[in-house]
């Protein structure tokens, strides 16, 4: 009997494909909706990367860097756009059917050809899977990020993000004609 844990990477991949299809489509063109989709995509990407290694340090750091950059960009763009309502177009049935058909075709193709490891019985019986060791040598030095030679670089990156956040807030709060007025 197949374990349900072997399907988790497959469903994460399907959800990432769905998020990319929603982001590529211009139905949800409001910046808030785009940011929500990008945050969900980065969460799924972090979950997918955390399968590679037992230590989640690299995926968590990448997620925090992406979210901090997204929030700074969102703060800047939210001050530029007007207060328009978000409109959802939910009657687009063709896109929904196309998405479901593509996912089912992808699933059937991979089951028939057995090209992915999720459906391989040899892979499911082994407790020590290869995904935990796929990038072990590449990410061995990630724990040295806070040790002596590299801690200055880490602190400089944190300070750069903090200064850029303060700069964006200062630019956004200036009384300029191109930016909308901030309510006080």
The whole-number pLDDT of residue 107 equals: 72
Contact 32, 86 (CB under 8 A): yes
Contact 71, 38 (CB under 8 A): no
Q: Please tell me which residue, 143 or 1, carries the higher pLDDT value.
A: 143
Does residue 132 carry a pLDDT above 70? no
The terminus-to-terminus CA distance of the chain in angstroms comes to 61
Segment 65-88 mean pLDDT: 72
Place of tokens 């049935």: 93
pLDDT bin (cut points 50, 70, 90) of residue 1 is very low
The whole-number pLDDT of residue 121 equals: 54
pLDDT digits (tens, 9 = 90+) for 151-180: 888 888 888 888 888 887 777 666 555 555
Q: DSSP characters for 115-164?
A: -SGGG-HHHHH-SS-GGGGTTTTTTGGGGGGGSHHHHHHHHHHHHHHHHH
Does residue 149 carry a pLDDT above 70? yes
- CB proximity list for 166: less than 8 A, separation 6 or greater: none
**Main-chain phi, psi angles of 178, to 5 degrees:** -80, -25
DSSP 86: P
The whole-number pLDDT of residue 174 equals: 60
Q: 24-38, 47-61, 115-129: lowest mean pLDDT where?
A: 115-129
Closest CA to 76 of 177, 144, 173: 173
Q: Please tell me which residue, 117 or 85, carries the higher pLDDT value.
A: 85
The whole-number pLDDT of residue 176 equals: 54
How far is residue 162's CA from residue 124's CA, in Å, rounded to a whole number? 45
The whole-number pLDDT of residue 155 equals: 84
């Amino acid at each position: 009997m197949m374990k349900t844990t072997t399907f988790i990477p497959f469903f994460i991949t399907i959800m990432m494909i769905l998020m990319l299809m929603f982001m590529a489509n211009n139905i949800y063109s409001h910046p808030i909706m785009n940011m929500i989709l990008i945050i969900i995509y980065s969460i799924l990407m972090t979950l997918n990367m955390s399968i590679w290694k037992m230590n989640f340090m690299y995926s968590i750091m990448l997620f925090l860097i992406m979210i901090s950059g997204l929030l700074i960009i969102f703060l800047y763009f939210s001050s530029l756009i007007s207060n328009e309502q978000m409109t959802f177009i939910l009657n687009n049935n063709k896109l929904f059917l196309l998405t479901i058909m593509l996912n089912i075709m992808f699933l059937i193709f991979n089951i028939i050809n057995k090209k992915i490891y999720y459906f391989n019985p040899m892979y499911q019986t082994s407790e020590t899977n290869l995904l935990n060791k796929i990038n072990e040598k590449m990410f061995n030095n990630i724990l040295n990020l806070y040790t002596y030679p590299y801690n200055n670089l880490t602190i400089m990156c944190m300070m750069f993000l903090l200064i850029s956040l303060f700069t964006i807030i200062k630019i956004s709060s200036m009384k300029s004609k191109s930016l909308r007025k901030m309510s006080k």
